[in-house]
Each structure stands twice: as C-alpha cells, then as structure tokens.
Chain A
Amino acid sequence: MLDLGAHDPVPMAAVAPAGPALLDVAGLHAWYGESHVLHGVDLNVRQGETVCLLGRNGAGKTTTLRSILGVVGRRDGRVSFDGRDLTRMPLHGPARAGLAYVPENRGIFAGLTVAENLMLPPKVAEGGMSVEEIHALFPNLKERRLSPGTKLSGGEQQMLAIARVLRTGPKMILLDEPTEGLAPVIVQRIAAALIQLKARGLTVLLVEQNFRFARRVADRFYVMEGGVVVDAFRSDEVEGRLDRLHELLGV
C-alpha cells in the first residue's frame, strides 16, 4: 500500500523498469520568471516504452516536457537522454540527440505549406519514416500537401505535427496532449497510429488529460500534482487504482 502525500517521494523501485532508462529525469526543478513551477520531478522512460504523464491542469505536465528540452526560464536537476546530459546542450541539442517534440498547440507554421511543415525538422538519424510511409499512415496529409499548414483541421494538424517528427528518425518523442479538442473518431485514429508506432519500437513520453485514450496506448503512468510526481504505476495496475485516480485527476 502506498501512502501518497503530495510531496512525498514515490517509491520508484516498485514500478521502474529494469535496465538503463533512455530518458532519466531526477530532481528536476523549473522556474518561469520568479514562479517556481516544478519542485523536483523524478521519472524515467525505457527504450520502447510509452509512458504517460497524468494530472490536472496546472500540475506541471507540459512544463515537465518543456524543461526536459530546456524551453523554460531556468531549470535545475538532472536530465539524461541516451546517456547524454541534456542540461548542458543548447536548445537545438536534444533534437539532434534524437529527442523529438510535438507541442501542445501543435506548432504548425501558417507561412509554410503542409509539405514544407512536414519537411521542416532536420533529419537526425537514419531509420525515420519516409514520406510515402507517412502518407500511408495519414492519407489526408498527401491530399492537402500544398495547402497552408494552418488551413488543415485540428485533427489533420495533429497528424502533421506527429508525422513531421517521425520523418526525422528520433529515438523518442515527447507528445503533449495529442487528443486535445479533437472529435472521438479522430482520437481513435491517433490512438491507432500511436499503437502502430509503438509496434515499430518508438519510445514515447505522453502528456494526456484523456485517460481513456492514455489507457489504450500507455505501458506506464506517472501522476503529477503541484509540480511533482505523486504516483507511478503500470497499466496492469490501473484497475485497482481507479477510485484514487478519479480523485487525483477529477475525471
């Protein structure tokens, strides 16, 4: 039985996978200006896993992703990816090390066509998806390739945002709220695509409010509150925790 006070450390040994983590975050603090937003986040993601960060609005999930990449005012703590220290890299370092980002607002560029958006992020390694494979996964992107990026529907923009980083051959993707504001049928398609990518061995750290979606795709979960991780469990442990999750997430 776990006793989970808001700021108590989580007994990681109970859930942390064996073997070295691809992404290892320890004691991560972050500040936006004067405001201290993360208070020592610990989490890790192993090769091939899909790990989901749950939590209410303002719990620090998006900030955690942004702090891993270095897109915050100030951060402190350890962020190691594939054995490299991300905190010592310039902002363009993590992507080149193989860590790709799909932001919450999707980050589709209005001044670029769909095709230009797709081709924008530089390739970081061999083994990324070809444009043909991407068009097979998301056929809409092929039909609309000459439209301005932001003329796509919300769902298509999300597909484009995911497709764009798949082409670059990343080792891991940070995926922020991919289902936000999308119709259920589109959420289904995104889930199907993620499951397909997982089968190809892609590692994902996902932030999600939609717990039903997250349950379908994630192997492990962390729950955040007040800028720290307050719970961690595997997907086969979800059933026993539903009451507690409802309380923590307000779902």
Chain B
Amino acid sequence: MTTIFGVPIQALLGQLLLGLINGSFYAMLSLGLAVIFGLLRVINFAHGAQYMLGAFVAWLLLEHLGIGYWWALLVAPLVVGAASLVVERAALSKLYDLDPLYGLLFTFGLALTIEGAFRWQFGAAGQPYATPDELVGAKNLGFMVLPIYRGFVVVASVVICLAVWLLIERTKFGAYLRAATEDRTLVQVFGVNVPRLLTLTYALGAGLAGLAGVLAAPIYQVSPLMGSNLIIIVFAVVVVGGMGSIGGAILTGYALGVLEGLTKVFYPPASSIVIFVVMAAVLLVRPAGLFGREG
C-alpha cells in the first residue's frame, strides 16, 4: 500500500475530502459573517442560529407541507433572510450608533433565544433529513467511497461563494457595499439609501447562513444546537482570515477545513483544537488576520 509519512494515501485523500466538506460550511458561514461585519460593524453571534433556522425551515417544509429539498434550497434562505430583515429593522439598526458591543450582545441574546425556543419546541435531539433522491448513492473514487451528496455540497459551496464574491466585487450593489464599508456617511451623502443597504446586507448574510443550513440538513442532523456547535469554529476562521475580508474568509474557510482533516490523519487528538491553535498563532503574529488590512 502506498504511504506518505507512514500514512496510507487512501486515508490521507479521504480526510482531505472530508476536510473540504467541513471547509465548505466554514467558508459559506464565515463569508456571511465577514460581509455583515465589514459593513455593519456587527459581530453577528446569531449566525449559527440563522444556519440552524435554515435547516429547520427545510425540515418543517418537508414534514408539514411535503415541500422537498430543491424548493427548500430556495425558500429557506428567503425565510431566514426575511426574518433577519425584520430583526435588523426593528432592533439591530437602533444599536448602530452605540458601542459595537451592544450589537454583539443583542445578536448573542437573539441566538440564545432562538435556540432555546427550538429546544423547547423540538427537543435537543436531532431530526434526520433525507438526502434528496437525485443525490442518493455513492461513487467509488478509488481511494474512498464518496457519498454523492457530499460531493454536491462541496461543488455547491464553491458556486455559492463565487457568486457572492462576484456580487460584491463586480456589481453596482457590491460597489455600494464596499464603498459604504469605508465611509458610510459619504456614500449616503451621495444619495444612496445606506440604511436600506445595511438592512439588505444583513438579510443577505443571514440568508447565506440559512442556505448553508439547508445544505447541511442531510449530512448533519437537524437540531437546535447544530449552529452553536459550528459557529465557534467559524468565528475562529473569520479571525484567521481577517474580519471584513471577503476573499480571505472564503479561502480560510476551505483551508482550515482541510487542515483539520489532515490533522485527523497525522495526529487525531489535535484535530478538534488545531483551528484554535492557528487562530492564536495568527492573532500573535498578525492581529488583523491573514487577509485583513492592518490598522
């Protein structure tokens, strides 16, 4: 059997791929966090809850209305985005002029409330969500048997991240967003309705989390705590990539997912902490993050 550093190449490639799947979620979630932070200067602690909501909306659509996965991919992000839009208008937007800590505390409280409500309603145990028929099965890649759905998730996340990146870097909306990230007041003095831009951006980031939640539903169980388990890692990813850096958040998400996978091969006990070790090291050497602007 072929080995690299004493590790069978099959195991290595397998973990690489699993790391890439985790990294897909890290990338999508840290992208939304970075977009929201860049413009609103709010550290959105509700991001994990919005991800969980996306998965639950998909599950509820299927359980109660018989609406399947493909429609859920469209409907769930819209539901989560719309709910977040209301939250931003009604509450979060009132906190922008205060210390950023208030926004953080508010979203943290919101996350606890949403997760608490779902635990009370649905219990802490996970609900299974069936893989869509079209994506059931597995493909033998030679070095591992890859469930088709997981391959789909990796491709879908790359497409989603690329689409968001293009939206921000190549469209008029994105130009407003980037300019307002630098100087919100001036952009509004130019005649752009910046409060509305902030609302849409928050809804976009939250909708993205909801979409990631739908993609996650068939892989992980749909449970009220699925978001809070993941969000701490995602915060570490954003810190490593640099708060507010869009491309940095995406690349760091995939890279740290893969790094985590590799750690599982070479030194499994460290795999659950490796991302945090990297975060600590990056904070010491480059506090603004790998892709963040210094100062």
Binding site for B on A (CB under 8 A): 69, 71, 90-92, 94-96, 100-101, 103, 107, 109-112, 116, 119-122, 124, 165, 168
Contact = CB atoms under 8 A, between A and B. Distances in A.
Given A71-B185, A91-B185, A103-B186, A111 B192 contact: no
B179 A109 contact: yes
Given A112-B175, A119-B175, A168 B181 contact: no
A107 B187 CA distance: 9
B63 interface: no
Interface string B192-222: 1111000000000000000000000000000
A156 to B, nearest CB: 18
A95 B189 contact: yes
A121 B190 contact: yes
B170 to A, nearest CB: 10
29 contacts: A71-B189, A90-B193, A91-B185, A92-B188, A92-B193, A92-B194, A95-B189, A100-B190, A101-B186, A101-B189, A101-B190, A107-B183, A109-B178, A111-B178, A111-B181, A111-B182, A112-B175, A112-B178, A119-B172, A120-B175, A120-B176, A120-B187, A121-B190, A121-B192, A122-B190, A122-B191, A124-B191, A165-B190, A168-B190
Q: Which of A94, A110, A165 has the most chain B CB within a 10 Å cutoff?
A: A110
Nearest to B178: A111
A214 B105 CA distance: 51
A107 B182 CA distance: 10
- Mostly helix, strand, loop or mixed at chain B's interface? helix
A104 to B, nearest CB: 11
Contacts of B194: 91-92
Given A92-B190, A119-B172, A121-B191, 12 more contacts: A69-B189, A90-B188, A90-B193, A92-B193, A101-B190, A109-B179, A111-B178, A112-B175, A120-B176, A120-B179, A120-B187, A165-B190
Contacts, number: 59
B191 A96 contact: yes
Contacts of A165: 190
Contacts of A109: 178-179, 182-183
Contacts of B182: 109-111
A107 B186 contact: yes
A90 B194 CA distance: 10
Contacts of A111: 178-179, 181-182
Contacts of B185: 71, 91
Contacts of B179: 109, 111-112, 120
B184 to A, nearest CB: 9
Interface residues of B, number: 19
A124 B178 CA distance: 21
Interface of B: 172, 175-176, 178-179, 181-183, 185-195
B178 A95 contact: no
A111 B193 CA distance: 20
Nearest to A116: B175
B229 to A, nearest CB: 34
A205 B118 CA distance: 58
A71 B186 CA distance: 9
Contacts of B192: 92, 121-122
Contacts of A95: 189-191
A187 to B, nearest CB: 24
A12 to B, nearest CB: 28
B56 to A, nearest CB: 36
Contacts of A110: 182
A120 B186 CA distance: 11
Contacts of B175: 112, 116, 119-120
Q: 6 closest Cβ contacts across the A-B interface?
A: A95-B191, A121-B190, A111-B178, A91-B188, A109-B179, A107-B186
A173 to B, nearest CB: 12
Nearest to A121: B190
Contacts of A112: 175, 178-179
Contacts of A120: 175-176, 179, 187, 190
Nearest to A101: B189
B183 A92 contact: no
Contact of B189 (A94, A119, A124): A94
Nearest to A94: B189
A92 B197 CA distance: 12
Contacts of B186: 101, 103, 107
Nearest to B182: A109
Nearest to B183: A107
A176 B167 CA distance: 33
A107 B194 CA distance: 16
Contacts of B191: 92, 95-96, 121-122, 124, 168
A138 B247 CA distance: 33
Contacts of B181: 111
